[in-house]
């Protein structure tokens, strides 16, 4: 412990930590809430499919939403009871919008499903990953990325370090601290699961040096378990708990924005995630609760083990919010947000609820113009230029914000924190990012619509052509039949319709279509000719002399007609569509594309 | 039903290949200005501009035959972008801008006549003859072209609701209640 060489990340700030308030009391279990509303979509990736219906009785730990893909994680009933609603319910989201939830009325018995612990070492890595997904194990540090999808090493780069994040750098939040103090042995067992899946050379547990009790507890647990994990104290500097920052501090590696950390031979998990992974495999308990710090403007700040789905207002009431509380912040003061709807449920990403009061968070004086002092750039842990991004975001010049790498911004709030002009920089960045995402969605939709539109036009065109060809064939066959059967009168009339039909066909504007048509016509004529040739001998068998005379007459007239046709073919301008019967009259308006 | 689906799928594959071929073939003689204009147009393919689709309108603009403010789905923002691209003055939209919408078929009333499928310019409707039809919401551009042909008037337009996934952070003009 401590002998390791540490690296530094750029920037960072030191806000008042405000952690002492909530660490004096041990973790307590929050009482069973009156209702639990479990959002189906609680992790990055897909939205789990609901498995229950209104009226169903569910048991604690029963899967109620099944992962709908690889990057997705199941959700479970946090307690036993009756499903009251499967539908829209307040979301733990800055928008205040609703989201798909399973709302359960607890029956008070808190009765578990049958829990089975598995010896994961007897399973294949694939099976372990599937199990983690079906147990709903996701990153509890705030990013809620499905953990199983992070447990595969890169094929080409050997895994060097597994970084375990116990830094907990955000002010006010102490749930990871208490978890490590009280449940270190199980955190270590969870880390071993990730270690076994990824097989790194080293395991480094990073804990900010303002949590010596947690670090000591972890070191002891590591030793007791006979593991070779290193517990490393890192300097307290916000945002040391950012995955990229902690990786940098512990390994010296910079993970570029466009790369996965496994491509650099390193991976990072939060301590609470490791804990839930162990509870899932070792105890058969899916992720149905988590530790939440209740703090801020409350009588008794403390950490609670809270069922997912517990209404936030009901939960905060346990800690005794003071009279002037006027809101709830989910997360910390740097990266959290004011919850628009107090009954919104605790989700897997909820690590802390802070009772907000004007005294605790005095409203800032109005924003002043940027004086280009550069303080924001100095503290930015991602070496961005916040004032430039701000300038362009403010002017809604989103292309430029992207040139300044706005998507590398982790919204840590360091820049806003130091800005002497009190500019809400992060708000401008969030605004710009969501506008860019919306534009990208629109663009994708428009491109898809364009492709399908062109496809449909092409198809319509083809169908029209096929129809034309069919009509041409039918007409040619008809004409051939007529010619074969007809007697003298037929011969006289035969030329007329051909010429009459010739005119409309001349209007076709499309060269390609015309060429295709010509080919079709030629083919049709060939076939008609062949048919005629075949038909003739049959017709002339066993004929009476009078009939033979008739046939001879017809042949003679035909020869004359053929001569006329030949002369006309030599002057196509005069009769542009020699193949009249093949050109359907309704084909004049082929759409020009 | 299964056979119908299989036939449709096969058709899609075959015609998709044809489309791929065609798109390669047509790309060659594309006018770069038309392409740039078309990239700004929203591809709703509704014909409200008076042209049978976004591309014909783009061609007309490129030739100087059409004004730049005729596309209601593109809205004022679209007019502004066209003005920027073409170095012209932006002008007010000739038409009414509507909030984004999608078509919805009342599946109990639908008689499966397939007329709406034929009308939909972007293949957003699925269904076979004499079977209930459904609009694939994510593909529908809200062009309203399927409304008039429906003999039982069972298609309605619904505004697209904002969801947690499509919600956007607002421009911080007025200081909202701040956290930090
Ligand atoms: S800290 Fe504030 S005033 Fe200074 S450069 Fe950055 S945005 Fe401008
Ligand atoms: S919020 Fe973004 S721009 Fe500001 S300091 Fe953090 S990473 Fe840098
Ligand atoms: S009005 Fe706009 S969206 Fe509709 S077809 Fe014309 S260009 Fe396309
Ligand atoms: S479903 Fe109707 S409104 Fe939607 S794109 Fe097709 S025709 Fe237009
Ligand atoms: S046009 Fe109307 S009735 Fe006919 S298939 Fe479409 S929705 Fe059904």
Closest atom of ligand 2 to CA, residue A425: 4
For residue A154, what are the domain limits? 20-50+67-105+129-356
- Find chain A residues with C-beta within 8 A of B163's C-beta: 97, 99
User: Before A239, cis peptide (omega within 30)?
Assistant: yes
> Residue A521's pLDDT band (boundaries 50, 70, 90)?
low
pLDDT (mean) for A240-255: 94
pLDDT (mean) for B144-172: 91
Q: Do A434 and B18 count as a contact with CB atoms less than 8 A apart?
A: no
Q: Do A413 and B180 count as a contact with CB atoms less than 8 A apart?
A: yes
* Residue-wise pLDDT tens digits, A268-323: 999 999 999 999 999 999 999 999 999 999 999 999 999 999 999 999 999 999 99
Least confident of A188-197, B3-12, B121-130: B3-12
* Residue-wise pLDDT tens digits, A149-187: 999 998 999 999 999 999 999 999 999 999 999 999 999
* Residue-wise pLDDT tens digits, A48-87: 999 999 999 999 999 999 999 999 999 999 999 999 999 9
For residue A441, what is the nearest residue in chain B, using CA coordinates? B166
Task: Say yes or no to pLDDT of A541 above 50.
Answer: no
In a domain, A373, yes or no: no
In a domain, A442, yes or no: no
Please report the pLDDT score of residue A533 as a whole number: 47
Ligand 2 centroid to residue A412 C-alpha, Å: 5
**Domain layout of chain B by residue ranges:** 32-86, 99-169
Please report the pLDDT score of residue A484 as a whole number: 78
B115 C-beta closer than 6 A to ligand 4: no
CB atoms within 10 A of CB A359: 10
pLDDT (mean) for A431-447: 93
In a domain, A502, yes or no: no
Task: Say yes or no to pLDDT of A93 above 50.
Answer: yes
Ligand 5 centroid to residue B116 C-alpha, Å: 5
Higher pLDDT, A203 or A496: A203
What class, spelled out in words, does domain B32-86 have in CATH? mainly alpha
Higher pLDDT, B44 or B180: B44
- Find chain A residues with C-beta within 8 A of B73's C-beta: none
Contacts 24+ apart (CB under 8 A), A126-133: A128/A193, A128/A197, A128/A281, A129/A197, A131/A280, A131/A281, A132/A277, A132/A280, A132/A281, A133/A67, A133/A70, A133/A72, A133/A73, A133/A74
Least confident of A202-216, A457-471, A570-584, B91-105: A570-584
> Residue A5's pLDDT band (boundaries 50, 70, 90)?
confident
Task: Say yes or no to pLDDT of B40 above 70.
Answer: yes
B140 C-beta closer than 6 A to ligand 4: yes
Please report the pLDDT score of residue B11 as a whole number: 52
Least confident of A420-434, B94-108, B166-180: B166-180
Show Cβ contacts of residue A441 under 8 Å, excluding neighbours closer than 6 positions.
B166
Closest atom of ligand 4 to CA, residue B44: 5
Higher pLDDT, A217 or B15: A217
B45 C-beta closer than 6 A to ligand 3: yes
pLDDT (mean) for A447-462: 92
> Residue A515's pLDDT band (boundaries 50, 70, 90)?
low
Handedness of CA B32, B36, B42, B48 (dihedral sign): negative
Question: Is ipTM beyond 0.90?
Answer: no
> Residue B5's pLDDT band (boundaries 50, 70, 90)?
low
Please report the pLDDT score of residue B130 as a whole number: 82
CATH number at residue A180: 3.40.50.11540
Q: Which two tokens stand for residue A395?
A: 């002017």
Show Cβ contacts of residue B100 under 8 Å, excluding neighbours closer than 6 positions.
B142, B159, B160
> Residue A501's pLDDT band (boundaries 50, 70, 90)?
very low
Task: Say yes or no to pLDDT of B28 above 60.
Answer: no
> Residue A488's pLDDT band (boundaries 50, 70, 90)?
low
> Residue A593's pLDDT band (boundaries 50, 70, 90)?
very low
In a domain, A37, yes or no: yes
> Residue A552's pLDDT band (boundaries 50, 70, 90)?
low
- Total number of domains constituting chain A: 1
Percent of chain A with pLDDT over 90: 75
Which residue among A384, A406, A418 is best mutated to probe the pocket of ligand 2, counting the most ligand atoms within 8 A of its Cβ? Answer: A384
Please report the pLDDT score of residue B18 as a whole number: 53
Please report the pLDDT score of residue A112 as a whole number: 97
In a domain, A574, yes or no: no
Residue A409 assigned ligand-binding role = yes
Angle at Cα B95 formed by Cα B89 and Cα B101, nearest 5°?
A: 120
Contact between residue A418 and residue A334 where contact means Cβ atoms under 8 Å apart: no
Q: A260 to chain B, minimum CA–CA distance in Å? A: 24
DSSP characters for A269-297? EEHHHHHHHHHHHHH---S-EEEEEEEES
Please report the pLDDT score of residue A564 as a whole number: 54
Contact between residue A115 and residue A107 where contact means Cβ atoms under 8 Å apart: no
Contact between residue A22 and residue A170 where contact means Cβ atoms under 8 Å apart: no
Percent of chain B with pLDDT over 90: 54
What class, spelled out in words, does domain B99-169 have in CATH? alpha beta
Q: Is A267 helix (H, G, I), strand (E, B) or coil?
A: strand
Please report the pLDDT score of residue A547 as a whole number: 58
In a domain, A40, yes or no: yes
> Residue B82's pLDDT band (boundaries 50, 70, 90)?
very high
pTM, full prediction:
0.77
Please report the pLDDT score of residue A538 as a whole number: 42
Task: Say yes or no to pLDDT of B179 above 80.
Answer: no
Q: Do B164 and A338 count as a contact with CB atoms less than 8 A apart?
A: no
> Residue A539's pLDDT band (boundaries 50, 70, 90)?
very low
Please report the pLDDT score of residue A499 as a whole number: 45
Question: What average pLDDT does the structure give for chain A?
Answer: 86
> Residue A492's pLDDT band (boundaries 50, 70, 90)?
low
Please report the pLDDT score of residue A142 as a whole number: 82
With 0-12 / 13-18 / 19 or more C-beta atoms within 10 angstroms meaning exposed / middle / buried, residue B53 is buried
């Amino acid at each position: 412990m401590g002998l390791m060489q540490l690296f530094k990340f750029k920037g960072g700030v030191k806000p008042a930590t405000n952690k002492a308030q909530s660490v004096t009391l041990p973790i307590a279990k929050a009482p069973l809430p009156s209702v639990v509303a479990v959002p189906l979509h609680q992790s990055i990736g897909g939205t789990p499919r609901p498995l229950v219906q209104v009226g169903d009785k569910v048991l604690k730990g029963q899967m109620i939403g099944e992962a709908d893909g690889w990057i997705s994680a199941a959700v479970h009933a946090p307690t036993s009871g009756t499903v009251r609603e499967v539908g829209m319910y307040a979301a733990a989201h800055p928008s205040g919008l609703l989201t798909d939830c399973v709302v359960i009325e607890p029956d008070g018995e808190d009765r578990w499903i049958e829990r089975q612990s598995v010896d994961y070492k007897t399973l294949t890595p694939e099976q372990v990953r599937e199990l983690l997904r079906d147990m709903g194990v996701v990153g509890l540090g705030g990013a809620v990325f499905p953990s199983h999808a992070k447990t595969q090493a890169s094929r080409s780069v050997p895994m060097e370090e597994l970084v375990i994040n116990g830094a907990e750098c955000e002010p006010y939040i102490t749930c990871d601290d208490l978890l490590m103090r009280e449940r270190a042995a199980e955190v270590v067992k969870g880390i071993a699961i990730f270690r076994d899946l990824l097989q790194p050379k080293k395991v480094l547990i990073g804990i900010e040096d303002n949590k010596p009790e947690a670090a000591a507890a972890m070191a002891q647990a590591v030793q007791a378990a006979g593991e070779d994990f290193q517990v490393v104290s890192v300097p307290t500097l916000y945002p040391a708990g950012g995955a990229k920052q902690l990786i940098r501090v512990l390994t010296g590696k910079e993970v570029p924005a466009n790369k996965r950390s496994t491509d650099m031979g390193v991976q990072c998990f939060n301590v609470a995630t490791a804990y839930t992974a162990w509870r899932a495999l070792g105890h058969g308990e899916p992720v149905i609760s988590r530790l939440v710090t209740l703090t801020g403007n409350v009588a008794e700040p403390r950490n609670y083990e809270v069922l997912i789905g517990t209404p936030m207002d009901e939960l905060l009431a346990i800690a005794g919010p003071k009279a002037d509380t006027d809101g709830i912040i989910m997360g910390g003061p740097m990266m959290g947000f004011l919850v628009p709807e107090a009954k919104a449920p605790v989700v897997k990403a909820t690590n802390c609820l802070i009772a907000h009061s004007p005294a605790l968070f005095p409203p800032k004086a109005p924003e002043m113009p940027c004086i280009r002092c550069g303080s924001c750039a100095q503290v930015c842990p991602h070496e961005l230029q916040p004032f430039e991004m701000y300038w362009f975001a403010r002017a809604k010049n989103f292309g430029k914000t992207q040139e300044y790498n706005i998507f590398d911004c982790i919204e840590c709030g360091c820049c806003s924190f130091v800005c002497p002009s009190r500019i809400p920089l992060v708000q401008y960045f969030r605004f710009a990012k969501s506008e860019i995402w919306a534009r990208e969605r629109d663009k994708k939709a428009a491109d898809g619509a364009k492709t399908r539109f062109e496809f449909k036009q092409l198809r319509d065109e083809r169908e029209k052509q096929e129809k034309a060809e069919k009509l041409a064939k039918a007409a040619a066959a008809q004409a051939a039949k007529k010619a074969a059967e007809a007697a003298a009168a037929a011969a006289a009339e035969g030329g007329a319709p051909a010429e009459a039909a010739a005119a409309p066909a001349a209007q076709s504007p499309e060269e390609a279509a015309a060429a295709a048509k010509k080919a079709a016509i030629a083919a049709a004529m060939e076939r008609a000719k062949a048919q005629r040739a075949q038909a003739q001998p049959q017709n002339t068998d066993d004929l009476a002399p009078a009939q033979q005379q008739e046939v001879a007459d017809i042949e003679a007239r035909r020869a004359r007609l053929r001569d006329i046709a030949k002369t006309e073919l030599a002057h196509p301008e005069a009769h542009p569509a020699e193949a009249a019967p093949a050109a359907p009259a309704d084909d004049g308006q082929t759409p020009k594309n | 039903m299964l056979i119908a689906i299989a036939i449709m799928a096969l058709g899609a594959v075959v015609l998709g290949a044809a489309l791929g071929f065609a798109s390669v073939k047509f790309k060659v003689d594309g006018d770069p200005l038309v392409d740039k204009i078309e990239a700004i147009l929203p591809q709703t393919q509704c014909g409200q501009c008076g042209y049978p689709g976004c591309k014909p309108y783009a061609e007309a603009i490129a030739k100087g035959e059409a004004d730049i403010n005729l596309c209601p789905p593109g809205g004022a923002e679209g007019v502004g972008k066209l003005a920027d691209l073409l170095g012209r003055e932006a002008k007010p939209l000739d038409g009414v801008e509507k909030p984004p919408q999608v078509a919805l078929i009342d599946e109990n009333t639908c008689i499966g006549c397939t007329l709406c499928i034929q009308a939909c310019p972007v293949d957003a409707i699925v269904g076979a003859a004499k079977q209930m039809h459904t609009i694939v919401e994510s593909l529908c551009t809200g062009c309203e072209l399927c409304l008039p042909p429906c003999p039982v008037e069972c298609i309605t337009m619904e505004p697209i609701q904002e969801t947690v996934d499509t919600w956007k952070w607002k421009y911080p003009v007025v200081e909202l209640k701040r956290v930090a």
